[in-house]
Structure 1
């Protein structure tokens, strides 16, 4: 019943050998979406780096996969985490930006997947177990927002993610995971390329047949209108001819005299 990240940590305890994982489909059935990607939180990932009496936070960074060729560094020369934002990096296109920070997940009592079926516990399990990147639709446009902004991701775009363990008192990074494998947001179906060169042969044949049938239906419809109009004209002509014939005046008898009795 342990989360997948906990099981991984049992065999690979060092954070440097781990990558952020996409959320278990049992918990996030619609993932990724057009603008969000849900990740597992790093349970039991940083335990080897925790020192008693210190205060730690987990920082999550994201970047577009295309930005990895520019720079993927998330610390400066003094091992301090970068404070780059979504706006600074053009949504991760120019390099990593800080998505969120949260408490180190408690490895001693991770959420149980079995609790997902319990309607009273499912919300709490999801909050403990998952973090959804791109979940804040207002922070970019709120002038009073002062926290770390986690705005919607771009659709049809590939991203990578990284977790950092930060000593918040010293302000330095104590440990970090590898960058995640590429994860891609969905694409709007209305924007899918329908150019014939991008479709299969079967789709092209079906499209051609449907186009032909539509053309024949239009031709048949126009032909029926034409014959209906012609038939109406012929009926009108025949009626007029019969009317003129039957309305001819009956000739009166001429030369007929009245005979008066003598």
Structure 2
């Protein structure tokens, strides 16, 4: 009779230990992160309510994020050593995840009791804090590779048109060992850089029929413009021909009104 409760307790504990190992990192909700993935970044949801049941009171925990390229030698490489401690492989050591997984980020365990609200993301004053609380952007650090004094987890830009996998690992900072970890995520591919010759520069992306109609209207408009200009030039030419005739008539009338000086001299003599 006493074995029943213990069996149930063991079963519950076992289920709690398996929770994180059946969870995969997910790409962020598009309502929180638009334009995701980009050419060099991928925004992921942080692991809310994934590790809470496994954390002991009084201990300090952190979450490590590991990244690997799908086409690496092992699509699901190890993230721990033989003593169950997390690997500290860097971006440079793994050739950007080509030869294994590298640690891209370290952050505190998300608070399951304080989940982010979509309504707060619409508020410009609350949006930055909500996004920081809700997601982790892989490939967001452009300076760590070139800083010789940088000692933290380096999170440099990802490669374009490349598929990656991601994993969350719960680390007990007191003992330095891995407490639990999620599964590797499904492949998430960064965007491909478009060639300039393939970019559609037509604003409305019209159909073939619309393009023909627009061309015809453009030709008609050009013909009307030429006709209008010809009419203006013809009117200007006709006006210029009439002006000299009026000038000659006025000058003849003026000359007839001038008296002759010779008649005045004959009267005085």
TM-score using structure 1 length: 0.67
Offset of residue 69 of structure 1: 2.7
Alpha-carbon displacement from aligned partner over 1:5-63 (angstroms, at most 9, x marks no partner): xxxxxxx9811000000000001111000000000000001012111111000000000
What residue number does 1:65 align with? 70
Matched residue SS, 1:100: strand
- Say if 2:68 and 2:75, in contact at 8 Å, map to a contact too: no
CA spacing shift, 1:190–1:107, aligned 2, 3 Å: same
Match of residue 142, structure 1, among 138, 147, 152: 147
Match of residue 118, structure 2, among 103, 113, 137: 113
Q: Runs of 5+ in structure 2 lacking a partner? A: 1-16, 200-207, 209-269
Match of residue 91, structure 1, among 92, 96, 102: 96
CA RMSD of superposed structures (Å): 2.2
Match of residue 164, structure 2, among 154, 159, 168: 159
What residue number does 1:176 align with? 181
Alpha-carbon displacement from aligned partner over 1:104-151 (angstroms, at most 9, x marks no partner): 000011111111111110010000001000000111011222211000
Alpha-carbon distance in structure 2 between the residues aligned to 1:69 and 1:176: 18
Moved beyond 3 Å, runs of 4+: 191-194
Q: Runs of 5+ in structure 1 lacking a partner? A: 1-11, 195-205, 207-262
Match of residue 29, structure 1, among 34, 44, 48: 34
What residue number does 2:80 align with? 75
Matched residue SS, 1:128: helix
Q: How do residues 1-262 of structure 1 correspond to structure 2 at under 5 angstroms?
A: 14-67=19-72, 69=74, 72-190=77-195
User: How many pairs align?
Assistant: 185
Matched residue SS, 2:103: strand
- Say if 1:59 and 1:98, in contact at 8 Å, map to a contact too: yes
Offset of residue 191 of structure 1: 7.8
Higher Rg of the two aligned structures: 2
Offset of residue 68 of structure 1: 5.7
Alpha-carbon displacement from aligned partner over 1:211-234 (angstroms, at most 9, x marks no partner): xxxxxxxxxxxxxxxxxxxxxxxx
Alpha-carbon distance in structure 1 between the residues aligned to 2:180 and 2:149: 32
Matched residue SS, 1:67: coil
CA spacing shift, 1:77–1:191, aligned 2, 3 Å: farther
Alpha-carbon distance in structure 1 between the residues aligned to 2:52 and 2:127: 26
Alpha-carbon distance in structure 2 between the residues aligned to 1:43 and 1:113: 15
Matched residue SS, 1:48: helix
TM-score using structure 2 length: 0.65
